[in-house]
Amino acid sequence: MRDGRGGSDADRVLAGLDEQQTGAVVAPPGPVRIMAGAGTGKTRTITHRIAYQHLTGAVPAHGVLAVTHSSRAAGEMRDRLARLGVGGVQARTFHAAALRQLRYFWRATGLPGDGPVLIDADGPGAQYRYLRGALGAVLRTPARDVDASMVTDLSTELTWAAARDLTPAEYEAQAEAAGRKPGMRLSTVAGAMRRYTTAKRAAGVLDFADLLATCARLLEDDDEVAATVRQQYAAFVVDEYQDTDPAQQRLLDAWLGDRDTLAVVGDARQAVYAFKGADTSLLRDFTVRFPHAVTVDLVQDYRSTTQVVDVANRLMAGRPESAGPALVGMLGDGPAVQVVQGDDEEDEDARVVATVRRWLAAGVPPEEIAVLHRFNAQAVALTAALRDAGVPVVAADGQAYFDRREVAHVRALLREHAARTPDEDAADVLGQVLARVGHDPDAPPDGTGAARERWDALEALRSLVATLPAALTGTVRALSADLDRRAAEDHAPPGRGAVTVSTIHKAKGLEWDAVVVARATEGSLPSVYATTSAETAEERRLAYVAVTRARRHLVATWAGARRGGRANTASPYLSAFAAPRARAGRADDPPTPRSTSTLTVGQRVTHDTHGLGRVVDVRDGTVTIDFGTGGRRTVASGRIVTL
């Protein structure tokens, strides 16, 4: 196929790719494992691979099923393929693909009705009612008396069990082996799971997790359906394969049958969803299952400066979970990374604000700045500090803290007090209200379930109020008004850009010019709940994800003491922020240009105007550089910096 400029469309797809990306793109239909480090052009590589296979006739676009873990990623993949002139590729999440196939083949399932009916069709909150009813039956209590936190914990365990492809009969033993600690006995969860399954079957409805198992079972049991699906899809691509769970793998195996036309892309260093059931070994052991698989390592990080990449590499060096070669920073030199210590968390917040203000003053757009933290409740004080300093803030997932049920309840009770006795002391009233809703600041619940999340949310509110100036909190009327104002700010459009405050988990897949990793202490990062070697390894990977969100500016902050005076210890991961002495320099030292005598053909360099390139000729004080899509240019050596 020709593109009218003398070159083939396939050659055009390869233009501008580096050597490793090209290797991944031109690899045969499968099996292929692409180990894509942070910032190495993962999505670019897999979309160009799909386009190249289509244009060369290896696999037509309509014969590819590209599977992702989020609708956003699927949409981005479709958009990029469209820009490459390739249509017809099905890019969907696992669940969306399963639902589409079930709708088409529904009669073959033998289940009643004309198609799958999702549980939400029974109205908003239908699944919650089913779960509450199941718990009530097991606990032998009216459903209305079942605590909401137990329903939330049951939902979490159902999600984990479904991801691990476990039946209710298998759940209890597997959950105990995995160290699961919901806010109830494992036997209670297993019993409620059985009741819930029976209730769904009686009502003829499926929940979200049922889509995968039902579709996989259909393909496993019906040869005609399986043959039809396998005839339609000749090859499969799976994005973020490190996040794939056993239930998704079962469906993928059913799609494949006895074929191996599978390409997976992922980064074991960014595997942070084991708590949801993801199984990193699927990526790590891909070549065990497919000994003849082609493995391509993408290591050239085009996202971040050398300083940021160095931190990421030191963080994972020598760790079994690093599973791949070190990244090579391609963005060139940048500011030194920094670790900033506050005396206490209030002082740390002030230092976070000062850091963000400095970046804004230097011209970094607010939407290119993020403050990342480990736990949801930590966002409260950080967001308040930024907003009180006049910095616009937005939550990465759009969730509003002040809309949480327990927080909204406290606000409503404060409003009632303010209407009756507006001048009553705010601290006294808040203490009464928190006691009324069952919050004891000295008795946090065990575990990580919904009860602990509720306690954390209320404790964050108490801590926030304790740090506010007396003018805002002297009376219950003043406090109620201030909290209502903060709740309104949670919903107010941020205007011309805003700084993102997000958990590290929610930040995965995103990137910013400047990132603060806040609350970098023992017990926070790594989490106090990480007690096994597997859990602590995942915490380190979470720190790696946080670091690699930054393109240019990276600062970690921690406090020497918590609110209330208890001493803190710095996160062990902060040692990775310490650059070797040989590279010491001021944060904004400019890169040092090289003379032609030190440049060699084949060397990777960067130019202040044309960007990244490779030296192809050196002579008489000039250098000829291949800038990829920017073409070859002969430039003065004084404007060249080696990488």
CB atoms within 10 A of CB 106: 17
Is 40 part of any known ligand binding site?
yes
300's CB contacts (< 8 A; 6+ apart) are 18, 20, 40, 41, 327, 328, 330
CB atoms within 10 A of CB 609: 9
Q: How far apart are CA 245 and CA 255, in angstroms?
A: 15
CA 534 to chain CA centroid, Å, is 19
Is 39 part of any known ligand binding site?
yes
CA angle centred on 46, ends 102 and 55, rounded to 5°: 90
Closest CA to 591 of 605, 575, 602, 579: 605
Q: Each residue of 225-257: b (16+ CB within 10 Å) or e?
A: bbeebbeebbbbbbbbbbbbbbbbbbbbebbbe
Torsion of CA 356, 360, 366, 368, to 10 degrees: -80
Is 419 part of any known ligand binding site?
no
Burial degree of 624 (CB within 10 A; 0-12, 13-18, 19+): middle
**Can you give 193-216 as a three-state secondary structure string?**
HHHHHHHHHHHCCECCCHHHHHHH
Measure the N-to-C terminal CA separation of the chain; round to a whole number of Å.
Answer: 37
Is 179 part of any known ligand binding site?
no
318's CB contacts (< 8 A; 6+ apart) are none
- C-alpha Rg value of the chain to the nearest Å: 27
Contact 296, 24 (CB under 8 A): yes
Closest CA to 383 of 360, 353, 405, 354: 353
CA 510 to chain CA centroid, Å, is 8
Q: How is residue 455 written in tokens?
A: 């306690």
Q: How far apart are CA 269 and CA 324, in angstroms?
A: 8
DSSP string, 133-151: HHHHHHHTS-GGGS-HHHH
Where in 218-298 does DSSP place strands (E)?
235-238, 262-266, 294-298
Task: Kindly report whether the peptide bond that precedes residue 526 is cis, defined as omega within 30 degrees of 0.
Answer: yes
CB atoms within 10 A of CB 345: 26
Looking up tokens 């233009």 gives 15
Q: Is 458 helix (H, G, I), strand (E, B) or coil?
A: helix
Closest CA to 611 of 594, 638, 631: 631
Is 471 part of any known ligand binding site?
no
Is 37 part of any known ligand binding site?
yes
3-state helix, strand, coil in the chain (%, to 5): 50, 15, 35
Q: Are strands 90-93 and 64-68 parallel, antiparallel or unpaired?
A: parallel
Task: Kindly report whether the peptide bond that precedes residue 31 is cis, defined as omega within 30 degrees of 0.
Answer: yes
Contact 367, 498 (CB under 8 A): yes
- Rounded to 5 degrees, φ, ψ at 594 are -110, 145
Contact 436, 413 (CB under 8 A): yes
Amino acid of residue 101:
Q
Contact 407, 458 (CB under 8 A): yes
Contact 151, 132 (CB under 8 A): yes
Write out the binding residues: 36-43
Write out the binding residues for ATP: 36-43
